[in-house]
Structure 1
Amino acid sequence: MKLLQALFFPPEQPGGVSSMIPYLQERFNPPHWEMDLFSIPKRIRSKGTEEIKFHTFDWTEFGDSPVVQKYIQTYRDYLWWTKLRIQRPYDLIHAHHPIAGLAMKQTFPETPVIQTIHSSYERELLLNGAIQEGGPEQRFLTSIYRELEHQTDEMLTVSRSFLEYLSPYVDRPGEIQVIPNGYDEKRFKPVPHDNEVAQLVTVCRLVPAKGLDILLKACAELKRKGHSYVLHIIGDGPIRPDLEKMAQELGIYEETIFYGYTLHPEEFMPFFDIFVLPSRAEAFGSVFAEAALCCLTLVGTEVGGIAEQIEHGAGGLLVPPEDPAALAAALESVILDPSYRYALARAGWEKAKREYSINRAVHELKKTYLKYYP
């Protein structure tokens, strides 16, 4: 079976889809399986000129929006690159971005296309303050889900909670299969260590949706109570200057280290103690599974896929979003009680190995792929 994994970002992009897809190839071995990866280089801009039409809605109703215009031009560029670069036929295409799925089906209408929805672009834009609730951008982007349902042969998503989010925007939500991402245990594994001071780490893009302002306020409360810790923030993004200023104003800049963008955080993540990320929304939250496989104690918000990964009080701790006091209390409990912290980490590690291994994901994907191969 000749498979194409159609990504949007290049495979080396950190986190999310790239935590799994590039590592599938070694598990889909010839002669029964052949797998290629495809994505659009970042340098491809404004190359496509093809007229865009959807079957389920008229996108031009939203065409005055710069966000919509950019999305449509990106779709044109992906179409242009696809037609330029893909010459060989495939038995099946698995797309991991809406633009990839639509472009592949338009280019290869006779080839089965499976579409995984990994996250919600419109929800990210809303949380980051880039678009307005109920505005043309949100209506356009949520209309894409029904178009994908109409165009592709099967839709998948990565968590039950995100399936619930998608359900109002499609006609047949009961046909959407949930297959969480899988992670290679050779890349994410525990390293024995003993830190005298608790080491907190978070790994994410520095945008409002990740709730790092809440984390800094919680850490300020920890310091006010006299608790020792170091907070490591790995990642970059548009609000980094604001977060650095906030850390200074809260008096915790000395306890906080901003690393910026790091290509392979899994290489040193196992040496920390507690992974914390108070996201305002997550379709799945890949970094929690990665941290669990490194045997870190997990502290997150009870939203989206995070709440499916963490069993509160058994495999980590969950707190309400937008609640610095609750987050500080959760962090305090695992900073002050190392035995409790290690027990939570161990239970989270065992669950991640059982439910989020790449072998489990491969097994589920192979069953899905074989439905389309005679």
Structure 2
Amino acid sequence: MIIVHYLNHTLQANGHVAVAVDLACAQAALGHQVYLVSGRGDFDDVLVRNGVTKIDVPDARGLFPLRMLTMARSLLPVMRRIRPDIVNAHMVTAAIAARLVAWTSGYKLVTTVHNSFDRQAPLMRVGDRVIAVSKSVYDEMRGFGVAASKLRIVHNGTIGGARRPAVPVQRTTLSRPAIATVCGLHPRKGVDHLIDAFAIVHRQCPAAHLYIVGDGPFRTAYEQRAADSGAGASIHFTGHVGDPREVLAEVDIFALASLREPFGLVVSEAREMGCALVTTDVDGLPEAVGGADHGILVPPADPAAMAAALLSLINDPALLARYRAASSADTEGLTVAVMAKSTLDVYDEIIS
């Protein structure tokens, strides 16, 4: 099968990019002819090393309609040359551009919805099949009027992907008990609520430390909130880390306070590393966690509930050990291999 993955870019610290790169590499390893077409990126060496042909197209800038047309014009000669069976588009502008060009090459278009909360997400309906990364995303797309006959669920997988070694090549030394979150520093991730929750935890357990892994436009504001919380000396901002598992491998509890989260790639990374899980009960997070048997789910925007869950684990070593063991159990569905097979099944369905 000739497969094209099409994205606006392949820059690090973007979940949809991580999924597309791992997916392309896994499909190439299965013997398919795989291309990744995008603007600027950070994974070219990984793709080439794993048998994926990377094709650069110019970055598209400007308003949505202009950006879409620019991308379609750049994509047209590439598709005429490759003549793929499947184009898998991972973002809205890429999906629309790929639909505009499809008539010239006759390929089938699959769109993968990574962020159903984006206001343009309903436009992903242009695919011949629409992959939702969780049941939550599936339900949201159905609410937008996308036909059930088009929609398929394929959970994101990160375990065993080509982007990273099988285990972290190094581990970060942390002060314990160690709580960590890994996320972009912007309001959707609820970092302010997590800082407030940790301030409660710290008053009862001064030895605890919180590690905030990631970067983003609100970092300065969150650093100030941490400083004002009374627990600032125990809250550490690491910035972006290329392989978060280097931190997670030494963490006792992984916490995610997101207000919206279609699936949560980092949850599978935390599970791979055997962290106890405390996350908000929103969107696809219960699916990524594996339900209440595998982690503690709390209401969003509720620092008191988050703090109570964290303290229940810190204060009870046996409970912490039980949740750490539960976290790393039943993770087969979070592997790149399973994601690749399930995605290929979708491709086969529309080709046949």
- When the two structures are superposed, what TM-score results if normalisation uses the length of structure 2? 0.85
Q: Which residue of 2 aligns with 1:340?
A: 319
Letter in 2 for 1:21: A
* Contact 1:277 1:300 (8 Å CA) reproduced: yes
Provide the residue aligned with 1:224 in structure 2: 203
**Where does residue 199 of structure 1 map in the other structure?**
178
**Residue 157 of structure 2, aligned match among 162, 165, 182:** 182
* Cα distance in 1, alignment partners of residues 269 and 275 from structure 2: 9
Q: Which of residues 256, 263, 276 in structure 2 aligns to 1:284?
A: 263
Equivalent residue, structure 1, for 2:220: 241
1:116 and 2:116 correspond: no
**Distance in 2, Cα, partners of 1:156 & 1:269:** 29
What is the match of residue 107 of structure 1? 101
Distance in 1 (CA, whole Å) between partners of 2:13 and 2:147 is 32
Aligned to 2:139: 164
**Which residue is equivalent to 1:78?**
71
Aligned residues: 330
Partner of 2:300: 321
Residue 173 of structure 1 is matched in structure 2 by 148
Contact 2:9 2:59 in 1 (8 A): no
Paired amino acid for 2:66: Q
Contact 1:20 1:183 in 2 (8 A): yes
- CA spacing shift, 1:280–1:30, aligned 2, 3 Å: closer
Q: Which residue of 2 aligns with 1:359?
A: 337
1:271 alignment partner, SS class: coil
Per-residue deviation at 1:195? 7.0
Unaligned 5+ segments in structure 1 are 48-68, 123-137
What is the alpha-carbon distance in structure 2 between the residues aligned to residue 88 and residue 28 of structure 1? 17
> Deviation digits for residues 186-225 of structure 1, max 9, x if unmatched?
6465899997721111111100111111101111111122
The residue type paired with residue 143 of structure 2 is P
Quote how far apart the aligned CAs of 1:285 are. Answer: 1.1
- Tell me by how many angstroms 1:181 deviates: 0.9
Is structure 2 residue 127 aligned with structure 1 residue 152? yes
Partners of 1:333 and 1:200 lie apart in 2 by: 13
Look up the equivalent residue of 1:20 and give its one-letter code.
Answer: V
DSSP 3-state at the match of 1:272: coil
Task: Give the CA deviation at 1:365.
Answer: 1.5
1:371 and 2:338 equivalent?
A: no
Aligned partners of 2:24 and 2:141: how far apart in 1? 29
Task: Report the Cα distance in structure 1 between the residues aligned to 2:188 and 2:73, rounded to whole angstroms.
Answer: 32
**Alignment match, 2:16:** 17
Please give the per-residue CA displacement for 1:280-331, whole angstroms capped at 9, x wherever unaligned.
0111111111111111111100001112223555211110011111000000
Q: Which amino acid aligns with 1:13?
A: Q
Give the AA of the match of 2:68: Y
| Contact 1:14/1:264 (<8 A) preserved | no
Q: Partners in 2 of 1:348 and 1:15 — Cα distance?
A: 24
Indicate the residue corresponding to 2:51 in structure 1: none
Q: Distance in 1 between matches of 2:21 and 2:196?
A: 37
Whether the 8 Å contact between 2:276 and 2:295 is mirrored in structure 1 is: yes
Maintained 8 Å contact 1:211/1:280: yes
- Larger mean CA deviation between 32-41 and 297-306 belongs to 32-41
| Aligned partners of 2:71 and 2:94 also within 8 Å | yes
Cα 1:100–1:183 shift into 2, 3 Å: same
Q: Larger deviation: 151-160 or 78-87?
A: 78-87
Q: Distance in 1 between matches of 2:305 and 2:274?
A: 23
> How big is the shift at 1:30?
7.1
* Matched AA of 1:276: A
Asked if the contact 1:188/1:291 (under 8 Å) is kept, the reply is no
Q: Is the 8 A contact 1:92 1:372 kept in 2?
A: no
Q: What is the CA deviation profile of residues 329-349 of structure 1, one whole-angstrom value per residue up to 9, with x for unaligned ones?
A: 000011122332222122121
Question: Partner amino acid for 2:69?
Answer: R
Distance 1:18 1:46 in 2: 17
Does the aligned pair in 1 maintain the 2:190–2:257 contact within 8 Å? yes
| C-alpha distance in 2 between matches for 1:104 and 1:311 | 34
Partners in 1 of 2:241 and 2:29 — Cα distance? 33
> Structure 1 residues 316, 5: closer, same or farther in 2, change over 3 A?
same
Q: Sequence identity of aligned pairs in percent?
A: 25
Aligned partners of 1:332, 1:79: CA distance in 2, in Å? Answer: 52
Is it true that 1:4 corresponds to 2:4 in the alignment?
Answer: yes
- Report the TM-score, using the length of structure 1 for normalisation: 0.80
Residues 183 and 189, structure 2, Cα contact 8 Å, conserved in 1: yes
**Using a 3 Å threshold, how does the CA distance of structure 1 residues 268 and 216 change in structure 2: closer, same or farther?**
closer
Taking the aligned partners of 1:102 and 1:246, their CA distance within structure 2 comes to 40
The Cα of 1:232 is off from its aligned counterpart by 0.9
Q: What amino acid does structure 1 have at the position aligned with 2:139?
A: E
Q: Distance in 1 between matches of 2:178 and 2:281?
A: 22
Cα separation, partners in 2 of 1:300 and 1:46, compared to 1, 3 Å: closer
- SS of the residue 2:318 aligns to: helix
Greater CA drift, 113-122 or 200-209:
113-122
